[in-house]
Each structure stands twice: as structure tokens, then as C-alpha cells.
């Protein structure tokens, strides 16, 4: 998933790559709500951005655990 790759490459909050990763993860969750890994990546992005409250929703839907 594009968002995961950008995150692993070191995309930082506020950067164009981070914004692209966020949009990509949100779109993946929108298109495939049952895709657990997409929820996990979105939660990681929210946490990295300091948006801890927003991260709770995707973390609860990540079915990998």
C-alpha cells in the first residue's frame, strides 16, 4: 500500500509525502472498509501526526491482531 511505503520511507507530518500517505490510507479504508492493514496504517499516520484520538477508530478496526 502506497501509504505504508511512504511512512516507511520516513514521511514526516507536514510534508507532501505525509499528506499523500494520509490521503492514500483514508482512500483505502473508504474503498475497502474490511481491509485491516489499511486501518493499521491510517492509525500509525494519525499517531505520527499527534492525532491520538483520531487513531483510536482505525486501531479498533485493524483485524490483523
What does each of the 65 residues of the chain score in pLDDT, given as a tens digit? Answer: 899 999 999 999 999 999 999 999 999 999 999 999 999 999 999 999 999 999 888 777 654 54
List Cβ neighbours of 4 (8 Å cut-off, separation of 6 or more): 21, 37, 41
pLDDT at 59: 72
pLDDT at 1: 81
56 touches 46 (CB < 8 A): no
Element (H, E) at 23: helix 16-31
Whether the CA torsion 59, 20, 3, 8 is positive or negative: it is negative
- Grid coordinates 491520538 are at which residue? 52
Amino acid at each position: 500500500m502506497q501509504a505504508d511505503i511512504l511512512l516507511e520511507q520516513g514521511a514526516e507530518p507536514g510534508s507532501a509525502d505525509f499528506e499523500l500517505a494520509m490521503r492514500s490510507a483514508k482512500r483505502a479504508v473508504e474503498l475497502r472498509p474490511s481491509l485491516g492493514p489499511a486501518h493499521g496504517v491510517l492509525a500509525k499516520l494519525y499517531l505520527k501526526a499527534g492525532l491520538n484520538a483520531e487513531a483510536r477508530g482505525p486501531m479498533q478496526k485493524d483485524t490483523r491482531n
